[in-house]
Amino acid sequence: MKFRARVLFLVFFFAQLMPALAQKEDNGYRLWLKYDKIEDENYLEVCRGQIKTINISGDNPILLTAQKELKTGLDGLLKVDLRIKVSSIAIEGSVIAGTPASNTLFKSKMFAAGLKGLPKDSYLIKTVKSGSGTYTVVAANNDAGVLYGVFNLLRLLQTHAPLQHINVVGSPKIQWRTLDHWDNPDGTIERGYAGKSLWKWDELPDAIDTRYTDYARANASIGINAVVLNNVNASSQMLDKVYLEKVAVLANVFRAYGIRVLLSANVAAPKSLGKLSTADPLDAGVQQWWKNKIADIYRLIPDFGGFLVKANSEGQPGPKDYGRTHADGANMLADALAPYNGVVMWRAFVYSVDSTDRARQAYNEFAGLDGKFRKNVLLQIKNGPLDFQPREPFSPLFGAMPNTTQMMELQITQEYTGYANHLVYLAMLFKEALDTDTHAKGGGSTIGKVIDGSLQGQRITGIAGVANTGADTNWTRHPFAQANWYAFGRLAWDHDLTAKQIAIEWINSTLTNDTAAVRIILSMMMPSREALVNYETPLGLTVLCGLHDVPAPWTRMYYHRADSVGLGFNRTTTGSNAVAQYFKPLQDTLNNIETCPENLLAWFHHVPWDHRMQSGREFWDELCFKYYSGVDHVRTMQDNWSTLSGKIDKTTFDKVTQLLIKQEDEAVWWRDACLWYFAKYSRKPIPQQYEAPRYPNGRKKAD
């Protein structure tokens, strides 16, 4: 071990001495919007041959943005200074972008058919042959569609897609593609690992940080169109006029990028802010207070999106304080927002420690309320029934409320997935959740189809990701954490994209187009989430942490139930019967230890230590195997990354190298702590072929 650490140190040390090769130093600020000159000379030539002018009128804010972005992107990638020439005639060598309203060209027969029926925010990109040359078209029915099309055209260039024959239609599957910030008025971020909040409340509304624009650009480039600015553990202060005026300034900046602003609302605000004696949603005075407040908000922010609410969970106030239901609370706000087209995103994350099985709680509280919510209420459900663990089964609420609009909440910030210290590509987790079959209407009833409305016909659709951004220069601290922000946006836009496709896009636009290097980076990213599961909570184990990045299984008996017989939480019919919340036949599959997927075994079963696994190993040996293979992957990542020295810009290379050293050590710590502790119950040794623990009693010195 020591030898290994020394080798890595030397690699790192010599990497420092190497001259910065061809690559520029990169502080990561530009994210995936780098637009450095295309290095492949042949491809560059093709692009320069086809793209010579830009034709997009910038006569309203979003089109102006699209024009700016198109020029910035193309100028950078092609290293030219393109002329903007607005005309309704298609000229060879031009990129023509717009809507039928902005350019009469798009009213012509040639485009009318393609645009007909193209939904809001969708676009088509097409190479059109004309005479001896070609021109390129980005067309949409609304301005935001043009902006998304422009960003996609730039992405095609960043990924070196063949330009001569483009024929792409892009269409978002989900309407509310939302980023939730857990940012507090004092500038701190709950579960934020990349510095302070981006919102400088003390400077607003007077000073407008240019970073707000860069933030909006990044979001728009991946299709995000809504942001909730403040923590769900909400301070009423955010609804105060002083703060609303600051919020309005941010909303103005974001609007030009097609982004709407929402706020988390503390439902006790009528009391704390309005000095009423109650916050009961059925009280006429309370209802009037919200109506007035909402009218004030829309005066300042005409396209305000609405409220996100965490109620009666972890100490937050809510309708149950007054003997009312979640539906009563949500509907009262929904009625007040409806005249303005606003929505309520009401969270289903309810948690009180005393419940016998926490994994059952959300379903118990919400399933019976199906059909009771207004049409403009979206029930926001975390992907798993518990709380953003490295792996959970899906929340059984999905698909179980056919008369209620459901949206999914994912966590981009790495609360339980290594903070911003571990390289973990979360698209694998997001995809697993979106692709899971709920069996709500027979096989193929995936969560993706529930939330995009195609399964149960809900008309409003949404998805939210808890942001991992902060004021750190590179936004997310770990350079690879940017990929998780990127992947969330891309999947919110189209959950049928594959995690691999998205990773390639991100690598190409952020790190490199070198084929061999891309392959190596992919081999690191793609298995990284499974590796995390393996070195923290394999085989269906969950919440084995103290602080959320530190192993402490000895404090989490509630979740793992280790004893001399076995390990895991019995949620079968002989236990808490949480399986009953799932649709058949899945319910039976999960209930039977022989058919339950092994990666969820200890979630649903108290697994005997000698239970025979598919690998032929006994459960205990399999557990050891998983913990050790999780660590192995981190080491493979280190080895692979070290081969990229000189191929990736030095700042990023060094930073990732350092973080991988930390990740390796923490992975080993998790492995050693969990196996040391569980061995007390299994009374079995760690098989001999494995290396000796680095932390034999599960503690680090500093611990």
CB of 364 to ligand GCW, least distance (A): 18
Per the residue annotation, which of 314, 496, 691, 703 is the catalytic one? 314
Q: Would you tell me how many other CB atoms lie within 10 Å of the CB of residue 536?
A: 28
CB of 247 to ligand GCW, least distance (A): 19
Cβ proximity to ligand GCW: between 527 and 553 the closer is: 553
DSSP-derived secondary structure for 143-197? HHHHHHHHHHHHHHHHTT--STT-EEEE--S-SEEEEE--B-TTS-BTT--SSS-
Cβ proximity to ligand GCW: between 415 and 536 the closer is: 415
Tokens of 666: 């923490």
Q: Per-residue contact track with ligand GCW, 252 to 291, x per CB under 6 A?
A: ----------------------------------------
Rounded to whole angstroms, how far apart are CA atoms 669 and 675? 10
Cβ proximity to ligand GCW: between 216 and 407 the closer is: 407
Strand partners, 129: 134
CB 297, CB 340: distance < 8 Å: no
Cβ proximity to ligand GCW: between 183 and 664 the closer is: 183
CB 303, CB 323: distance < 8 Å: no
Does 233 engage in binding with ligand GCW (CB under 6 A)? yes
Cβ proximity to ligand GCW: between 57 and 383 the closer is: 383
Cβ proximity to ligand GCW: between 415 and 452 the closer is: 415
Judged by CB under 6 A, the number of residues near ligand GCW is: 10
DSSP-derived secondary structure for 135-155? EEEEE-SSHHHHHHHHHHHHH
Residue 530 a catalytic site member: no
Return the residue of 36, 92, 190, 514 that touches ligand GCW, per CB under 6 A.
Answer: 190
Return the residue of 34, 48, 68, 191 that touches ligand GCW, per CB under 6 A.
Answer: 191
CB of 310 to ligand GCW, least distance (A): 5
Per the residue annotation, which of 121, 280, 415, 672 is the catalytic one? 415
Per the residue annotation, which of 75, 214, 240, 387 is the catalytic one? 387
Cβ proximity to ligand GCW: between 43 and 351 the closer is: 351
Rounded to whole angstroms, how far apart are CA atoms 217 and 214? 5
CB of 627 to ligand GCW, least distance (A): 24
Does 559 engage in binding with ligand GCW (CB under 6 A)? no
Place of tokens 């039977």: 592
Q: Would you tell me how many other CB atoms lie within 10 Å of the CB of residue 413?
A: 29
Residue 314 a catalytic site member: yes
Rounded to whole angstroms, how far apart are CA atoms 357 and 161? 50
Does 232 engage in binding with ligand GCW (CB under 6 A)? yes
Return the residue of 111, 148, 182, 485 that touches ligand GCW, per CB under 6 A.
Answer: 182
Strand partners, 309: 346
Return the residue of 176, 346, 388, 653 that touches ligand GCW, per CB under 6 A.
Answer: 388
Packing angle of the helix pair 515-525, 619-642 (nearest 10 deg): 150
CB of 406 to ligand GCW, least distance (A): 17
CB of 233 to ligand GCW, least distance (A): 5
Does 310 engage in binding with ligand GCW (CB under 6 A)? yes
Cβ proximity to ligand GCW: between 321 and 654 the closer is: 321
CB contact burial 282-292 (16+ within 10 A = b; e otherwise): ebeebbebbee
Residue 514 a catalytic site member: no
CB of 359 to ligand GCW, least distance (A): 14
560 Cβ contact list (under 8 Å, min separation 6): 541, 542, 544, 553, 567, 568, 569, 602
CB of 576 to ligand GCW, least distance (A): 21
Q: Per-residue contact track with ligand GCW, 117 to 156, x per CB under 6 A?
A: ----------------------------------------
| Residue 229 three-state SS | coil
Output helix, strand, coil percentages for the chain, rounded to the nearest 5: 40, 10, 45
Tokens of 299: 């005066």
Question: Is residue 100 exposed (0-12), middle (13-18) or buried (19+ Cβ within 10 Å)?
Answer: middle
CB 48, CB 240: distance < 8 Å: no
Q: Per-residue contact track with ligand GCW, 338 to 367, x per CB under 6 A?
A: -----------x------------------
CB of 462 to ligand GCW, least distance (A): 16
Q: Which residue has the closest beta carbon to ligand GCW?
A: 387
Rounded to whole angstroms, how far apart are CA atoms 29 and 211? 10
Does 85 engage in binding with ligand GCW (CB under 6 A)? no
433 Cβ contact list (under 8 Å, min separation 6): 383, 384, 394, 408, 410, 447
CB of 349 to ligand GCW, least distance (A): 5
Cβ proximity to ligand GCW: between 481 and 520 the closer is: 481
Place of tokens 């981190």: 634
Return the residue of 214, 370, 387, 639 that touches ligand GCW, per CB under 6 A.
Answer: 387
CB contact burial 546-560 (16+ within 10 A = b; e otherwise): eeebebbbbebeebb
Residues labelled as active-site residues? 314, 387, 415
The residues that touch ligand GCW, with contacts defined as CB under 6 A, are 182, 190-191, 232-233, 310, 349, 387-388, 415
